[in-house]
């Protein structure tokens, strides 16, 4: 298989296992490219890509922009904070105006779940979901799977614990779908107030004790507390959260095995992870960032071949 089964990347739920494996294999080739002295290839020389971000982003936007430039694509960046959206323009009108300038692909982040799906049905371009509200963040899940495979040799059969604010996290849902399709066992762990009611129906284990979760897993993917999405208080204080769910060196030293620590960023140091864990030999957080460029290069390259 050398082509994706879809012309958009809207979510991991829409991908087959073959699609995911193709993206990971293609990313491995691009990782070799970006570690060369000359990091650029002409693969998307005739393609124009718009990065349309309606929410703040640092890592994801920079990673996509770098991936696009490494592939020699023409890139335009759009931010809603200084655009006609502030004057009442609709999402479809905004994107159609961008597309009328002969743009081929749209990378979009939006606060509303389902916004990329809506857009894919209403505009004529490849749509890549760079995060839609609390729904999905497919390229983050793909780079996490790639990082696990790179570190441990395979994803199948591995035990992965996703720890933290599951309720408000788009990373958690995409990771669950991706890891399960690749044959991993998944556990979620956090305060019961931050676990969605339906979560067990996704076929994941549920654990409230972080020590038991860490003892069970091979990989701990630690999520930050998303205070900007919380309308009410889900726990008494950040200090109390850190006391019960924060991961520090002392906690890891009590385990009878070595585990891998991951984090999608940005890290709230001293809350979900202490600095001595985030910067330790257990952590592959910076490798995740590097792998993000390779994964996004793979997605852009494969979707450019699926146009029409």
For the chain, the domains span: 8-137+289-305, 138-286
CATH number of 8-137+289-305: 3.40.50.1370
What pLDDT is attached to residue 42?
Answer: 96
- For residues 55 and 132, give the distance between their C-alpha atoms in angstroms, rounded to a whole number: 9
Q: Confidence class of residue 96 from pLDDT cuts 50, 70 and 90? A: confident
Neighbouring CB atoms inside 10 A of 115's CB total 21
Q: What is the pTM of this model?
A: 0.94
What pLDDT is attached to residue 308?
Answer: 44
Least confident span in 35-49, 65-79, 224-238:
224-238
Q: What is the mean pLDDT of residues 131-153?
A: 97
Q: What is the mean pLDDT of residues 140-150?
A: 98
- For residues 10 and 130, give the distance between their C-alpha atoms in angstroms, rounded to a whole number: 9
Annotated binding site: 59-60, 87, 109, 137, 140, 170, 224, 265-266
Residue 26: half-sphere exposure toward Cβ, Cα within 13 Å: 23
Q: What is the mean pLDDT of residues 51-71?
A: 93
Q: Give the tens place of pLDDT for each residue, 219-229.
A: 999 998 865 55
C-alpha closest to that of 98 among 26, 32, 48? 48
Annotated binding site for carbamoyl phosphate: 59-60, 109, 137, 140, 265-266
CATH number of 138-286: 3.40.50.1370
Annotated binding site for L-aspartate: 87, 170, 224
Q: What is the mean pLDDT of residues 245-250?
A: 95
What pLDDT is attached to residue 57?
Answer: 85
What pLDDT is attached to residue 236?
Answer: 63
Residues found in the chain: 308
Domain 8-137+289-305 matches domain 138-286 at the CATH topology level? yes
Angle of the 91-99 helix axis to the 115-122 helix axis, nearest 10 = 50
């Amino acid at each position: 298989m050398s082509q994706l089964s879809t012309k958009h990347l809207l979510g991991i739920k829409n991908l087959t296992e073959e699609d995911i494996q193709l993206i990971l294999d293609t990313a491995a080739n691009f990782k070799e490219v970006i570690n060369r002295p000359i990091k650029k290839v002409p693969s998307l020389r005739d393609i124009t890509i718009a990065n349309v971000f309606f929410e703040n982003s640092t890592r994801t936007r920079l990673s996509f922009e770098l991936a696009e430039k490494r592939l020699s694509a023409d890139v335009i960046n759009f931010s809603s904070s200084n655009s006609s959206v502030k004057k009442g323009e609709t999402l479809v009108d905004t994107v159609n105006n961008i597309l009328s300038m002969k743009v081929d692909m749209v990378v979009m982040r939006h606060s509303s779940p389902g916004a990329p799906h809506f857009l894919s049905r209403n505009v004529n371009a490849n749509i890549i979901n760079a995060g839609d509200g609390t729904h999905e963040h497919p390229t983050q899940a793909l780079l996490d799977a790639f990082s696990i495979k790179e570190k441990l040799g395979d994803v199948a059969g591995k035990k992965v614990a996703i720890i933290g604010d599951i309720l408000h996290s788009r990373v958690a849902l995409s990771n669950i779908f991706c890891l399960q399709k690749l044959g991993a066992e998944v556990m979620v762990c956090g305060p019961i107030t931050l676990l969605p009611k339906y979560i067990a129906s996704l076929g994941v284990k549920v654990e409230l004790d972080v020590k038991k979760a860490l003892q069970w897993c091979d990989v701990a993917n630690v999520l930050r507390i998303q205070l900007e999405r919380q309308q009410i208080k889900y726990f008494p204080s950040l200090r109390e959260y850190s006391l019960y769910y924060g991961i520090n060196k002392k906690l890891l030293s009590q385990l009878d095995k070595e585990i891998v620590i991951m984090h999608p960023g940005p890290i709230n140091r001293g809350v979900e992870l202490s600095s001595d864990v985030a910067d330790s030999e257990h952590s592959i957080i910076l490798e995740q960032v590097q792998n993000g460029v390779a994964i996004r290069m793979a997605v852009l390259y494969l979707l450019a071949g699926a146009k029409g």
